[in-house]
Amino acid sequence: MKEYKDITELLGICYPIVQGGMAWVSDFHLAAAVSAGGGLGLIAAASAPADWVRGQIHALRKITDKPFGVNIMLMSPFADEIMQVVVSEKVPIVATGAGNPSKYMDMLKEAGTIVIPVVASSTLAKRVERAGADAVVAEGSEAGGHIGETTTMNLVPQVVDAVSIPVIAAGGIADGRGAAAAFLLGAKGVQVGTRFIVAKEANVAQPYKDRVIAAGDNDTVVTGRFTGHPVRSLKNKLMREILSQEKKDMSLEEFETLMIGTLRKAVVEGDADYGSLMSGQSAGLVTKEQPAAEIIRDIAEGMKAVYRSKAAYFGD
């Protein structure tokens, strides 16, 4: 079943495709479906308490015995406790986001965990490599949710040059063309988020899925730059309101009051107007709801088709 070397061997998966850890979206249903489909499924711990994460790990293990991971958002007040949970539950793979995971590296490595920090700069990539990371996800600013400044096209080759561990590209990748491009930039795998929001197994309210499917290339916006934690989402009434308040110098407190609970509102309640529809720019490439395994096959097959046609074009 194995089709690619490197990252697939490291992670014990069939396709070099990782599902992004998306707050509220990536619960055990989606992660299990992705892992069962030959990719790497991740449960997003986001800002949830440690006990919730433990429950998710148990639920996933009832459905599949394939490798999976937990994505730990380091700004979470529960990050320390969740690290204890993943170690005690012997979760094989841990991804981190929104911070530097170096202080947790020794405990994770001692437990035999494979650690894959998500980074948005080559500086952090080098730091986490030095601390013992097994691979990094280089996430460009086309991604949804909390983002850095540098685009995938520029970030990936610079991170590839900066470190010796395998680099997984993320941000703007939703099909075989994007995946093939990432491999040409030196990536050994891809992480895909936005396209999995519309996976059949993703417990996401239909209005959110519908907005992702309807979105075009110009339909995302970045809010919260002034907070130091910019976030990309689909344009809607909430984001227009926030953008207009940002122009009028809103305070951090006002921003937080407007934002609190809005991701849950989108994912769980299906409020597409006043919920946070976090999404990458690749929403414009997402055209239908599909089972996760079909999404993975489509990306893998699409990537092969690109390589075949380019080989023909270049004559070798």
Angstrom distances, CA of residue 14 to CA of 6, 34, 65, 231, 310: 11, 11, 14, 32, 24
Shortest distance in whole angstroms from residue 255 CB to ligand TUI: 10
From 61-69, 95-103, 149-157, 206-214, give the range in contact with ligand TUI by CB under 6 A.
Answer: 95-103
Q: Give CA angle at 100 (139, 71), nearest 5°.
A: 60
Can you give the C-alpha Rg of the chain in angstroms? 18
- Vertex 121: Cα angle to 96 and 172 (nearest 5): 75
Interface with ligand TUI in residues 17-76 (CB under 6 A): 23, 73, 75
Please tell me whether residue 116 adopts helix, strand or coil conformation: strand
By CB under 6 A, residue 120 contacts ligand TUI: yes
Q: Which residues pair with 220 in a beta bridge?
A: 234
Residue with Cβ nearer ligand TUI (24 or 68)? 24
Identify the residue among 145, 172, 280, 284 touching ligand TUI (CB under 6 A).
Answer: 145
Q: Which stretch binds ligand TUI (CB under 6 A): 25-33, 144-152, 202-210, 287-295?
A: 144-152
Of all residues in this chain, which one has the CB nearest to ligand TUI in the complex?
Answer: 145
Alpha helices in 17-111 (DSSP H): 28-36, 50-63, 79-88, 105-110
Within residues 286-315, the interface with ligand TUI by CB under 6 A covers: none
Q: Are 34 and 11 in contact (CB under 8 A)?
A: no
Cross-strand partners of 118:
137
Using the rule CB under 6 A, give the single segment among 34-42, 113-121, 246-254, 306-314 that binds ligand TUI: 113-121
The correct pick among 200, 229, 235, 304 for binding ligand TUI (CB under 6 A) is 229
Which listed residue (97, 101, 140, 275) binds ligand TUI by CB under 6 A?
97
Among 27, 139, 219, 289, binds ligand TUI (CB under 6 A): 139
* Stretch (H or E) spanning 252: helix 252-259
Query: Which single residue is written with the structure tokens 């919920």?
Result: 275
Considering beta carbons, is residue 145 or 178 the nearer one to ligand TUI? 145
Chain residues that interact with ligand TUI, rule: CB under 6 A: 23, 73, 75, 97-100, 118-120, 124, 139, 145-148, 229, 231
